[in-house]
Amino acid sequence: MDRTAPFAEVVLPAAVEGTFTYRIPNELASIVPGVRVVVPFGRGRKLHAAVVRRLVHEPPPGRQVREVLSVLDEHPVVTQDQLAFWERVANHYLCTLGEVMLAALPPQLQLSSTTRIVATDTTPSAVVDDRRLTLLLDALERERSLSLAEAGDLLGVKDPIRLAKVLIDSGALGLEERLAAGYRPRQVRHVVLVATERSEDRIRHWFAELERAPKQLALLMRFIERSHWVPGQPAETPMTGLLSSSDAGRTALAALVKKGLFTIEERPDSPPPVTRPMAEVPALSTAQQQALSELQAAMEQHGTTLLQGVTSSGKTELYVHLIDAAIRSNGQVLYLLPEIALTSQLIARLQARFGDRVAVFHSRLTARQRTELWMALIEHPDRHPVVIGARSALFLPFRKLSLVIVDEEHDPSFKQQDPAPRYHARDMAIVLGGQHDAHVLLGSATPSLESRYNADQGKYGSVRLTERYGASVLPGIVTIDLRRAHKERRMRGHFTPELLGSIGATVAERQQVILFQNRRGYAPIWQCEQCGHIPECVHCDVSLTYHKRDHVLRCHYCGRSYPPPAFCPECGSARLKMIGLGTERIEEELALHFPEARIARLDQDTARGRHGLERILGAFAEGAIDVLVGTQMVTKGLDFERVSLVGILNADRLLNFPDFRAHERGFQLMAQVAGRSGRRGRMGQVMIQAFDVAHPVIGFVLGHDVDGFLEHELEHRRVHNYPPFTRLVRFTLKHRNEERVAAAAAALMARLHPDFGDRALGPEVPSVAWVRDQHIRNVLVKLRRSDHASEKHMVDEAFRALKASPVHGAVRLIVDVDPV
Ligand code: ADP
Ligand code: ZN
Ligand code: ZN
């Protein structure tokens, strides 16, 4: 590191291309990479907290270089490893470092200024003839400064600067940029013995002095005890602890402060170090022991290893053993899970073993909690050797990762959809592991085709765990033919009598039921019985979904709500009815069939809020719910002893949607939800309702044949040239004007065609081609794995050229590398 370098190259928290260099003034010469600095950026004088990436001797040629205004951190808050990781992410996903930074840094470390209007020496007290400016000046006399938003509200205008322009130009009003306060470590008040009173003499003096104030005397004695006072040495103790350990009370303390014995001072709060010993990890079964030694051997040979183990085989137990070993050799462990599988059940399981060595990181934490964990990892890397988190935990400041676990590695929610960086946490975990020279362990009962393929090619190590733990056996799975049930008019709502019968029997035995209903394309909609009209969103090309509890029609694409129409807007008929089948509807039907049963629903609506998910899962775990109806959410990592029946209401819906991954997803969902059944001791049962009971994918589910499915599907992918045999890049173009978006898509295709030929597909009009008033087109490119780098480069060129094009520049262009 060169401390004399006079320029800082920084990353700005914005989606801007390129790096930015600022001059370091002499008084800030202590700047090092990884600290945040305040710099002006853009037109106007907006201020941002940027992260210093490196120090350089020369500014970039031909550009005017502005100065760093101040430094926010004494020590780096972003490590060199992290900066290098950001760069890898930006390169892979064709996005900017600023976009990665926005995703990576917790909100409280990201600061941008707000512009304020301020009074100056020459501010007049009124402006003749302009009532609004007078109003503004009045307010400034009271407040001294106003943010633009405050001024705008006050004056009822969007742009108060324009209104006040004359006064600003003449210097009668000023503009000032102010950074919000941002993160400050939590402060704790301490009672501090005043420096002149530390000696033995002085303390003795106080004892005599306080003879007639017993409470104050008692407090002083407590203080001496708790602060471990040594004559002549500084002494202090946290205030709350002191007060609660004595009944002297605040008045006595206040009196002693007034008399000059104590002062009260704020100190940063630092949690106590870990002391609890780690619990013993449980003994493994023979099969598990075998798998563990295979894992250890595989991890010696390969950077990444795939653990394919059936549900309930004890994969989590194996992780616990590996985590234990990693901690004992002073390494850090990152344990990644899909957001929704990060339940208190699993966290409690890990905390029981490792105590508060385990830190948890997911989107339900507050901004402050996220920032605190980040800072704790920077300042005390030994305090939390284990971080368990959702995908964004990848960006935490690790110092010496030795193990990265990606559990449920097949799960599509590891991929961030929007905004950029559209990263896949599994793939980036492998990059991160490589950087730290850490082992990466991918675990799943139903691995992704990519991971299975890589393992089969010998690129990853591969270990299998084929039996369930203990007396638990795989559930018996049966299909129920919906086509026949309909023909024979045996359907009762959306249930076959067979499924209803089993639900009834299970609940009667005080066992639990999980019912799975995929949300995709199958939520309840309103339809006119007379003319068939279906209400659609005014801003998107989709039909609206009825939400009974709020009695509104909602657009699942833009979130807008509409009151349900009383009459058909097309033909005026009053005969509107609900069709289709969402989780809410299923829940209601069930209640009619089983009025005694306790039924609950788990989906995006009910899991909302910080504790929604925990509440429902908690109630289910305690046995306060008999039947849990839900979407995907019920398929992920739940481990409940009493679930002995799983029902899948409509398997066809899982398999028939236009995406090359449809079968992979359908298989994974069915196999995973089936795995929730009969986890301990008891033979579980799974019932799959389907129109096409002969579908090959359902066949593989019935036979618990994960490998059979993978082989079948791999062949399909090979023939059609899809991943893992190619890598995909998807472009999405959006604009209000349909012709412009179509023209831009055509231009992109024309650019890609010479290089990629028929490996560039499109432009495609997606099934929902108009969302939030924007028309959408897609272009898909299949990259060869063999010369991936050069192909990626060509894609990048096309992307940049279109963005820079004067004709098509206004069209929004989104690039998604490795879409899922
Ligand atoms: P998976 O992660 O493969 O689905 P789990 O690790 O959750 O499987 O194990 C399933 C159940 O079996 C859990 O309740 C777990 O506590 C229990 N279990 C697995 N292995 C052991 C073991 N060696 N000793 C005690 N309990 C075990
Ligand atoms: Zn109608
Ligand atoms: Zn909409």
Q: Please list the ranges in the chain whose pLDDT falls under 70.
A: 1-4, 44-45, 180-182, 270-276, 519-525, 578-581, 609-610, 637-638, 679-681
Determine if ligand 1 sits within 6 Å of the CB of residue 309: yes
State residue 679's pLDDT score.
Answer: 63
**Rounded distance from Cα 318 to ligand 1 centre (Å):** 9
Q: What confidence tens digit (pLDDT) does each residue in 55-111 have? A: 999 888 877 889 998 888 889 999 999 999 999 999 999 999 999 999 999 988 887
Q: Is the dihedral of CA 498, 499, 500, 505 positive or negative?
A: positive
Q: Is the CB of 316 under 6 A from ligand 1?
A: yes
**Beta carbon of 282 within 6 Å of any ligand 1 atom:** yes
- The finding on whether 472 has its CB within 6 A of some atom of ligand 1 is no
Strand partners, 440: 304, 404
Q: Tell me, what's the pLDDT at 333?
A: 98
Widest distance between CA atoms in the chain: 100
Structure-derived torsion over alpha carbons of residues 100, 104, 107, 110, reported in degrees to the nearest 10? -60
Ligand 1 midpoint to CA 313 (Å) = 6
Closest by Cα among 465, 439, 443, 458 to 299 = 439
Does 285 contact ligand 1 (Cβ within 6 A)?
Answer: yes
Spatial separation of the C-alpha atoms in residues 373 and 390, rounded to whole Å: 14
Q: Both tokens of residue 620?
A: 């289910």
The token duo for 638 is: 């739940």
Closest approach atom of ligand 1 to CA 288? 23
Judge residue 157's burial from the number of C-beta atoms within 10 Å of its C-beta, 0-12 exposed, 13-18 middle, 19 or more buried: middle
pLDDT of residue 818: 95
pLDDT at 4: 63
Which pLDDT score, from 0 to 100, does residue 144 have?
Answer: 82
Q: Is the CB of 313 under 6 A from ligand 1?
A: yes
| Ligand 1: nearest atom to the Cα of 283 | 23
In this predicted structure, what is the pLDDT of residue 486? 87
- What phi and psi, each to the nearest 5 degrees, are found at residue 413? -75, 0
Atom number, ligand 1, closest to the C-alpha of residue 317 = 6
Contact 60, 89 (CB under 8 A): no
Go through 225-255 and write b for each residue having 16 or more CB atoms within 10 A of its CB, e for each that does not.
ebbebeeeeebbbbbeebbeebebeeebbeb
The answer to whether the CB of 524 is under 6 A from ligand 1 is: no
Residue 814 CA to chain centroid, in angstroms?
A: 20
CA angle 68, 74, 79 (to 5 degrees): 90
CB-hemisphere CA count at 13 Å for 273? 5
Which amino acid, one-letter code, is at 498?
E
How many whole angstroms from 567 Cα to the centroid of ligand 2? 8
Atom of ligand 1 nearest to the CA of 472: 12
Helical packing angle, 344-354 and 612-621, nearest 10°: 80
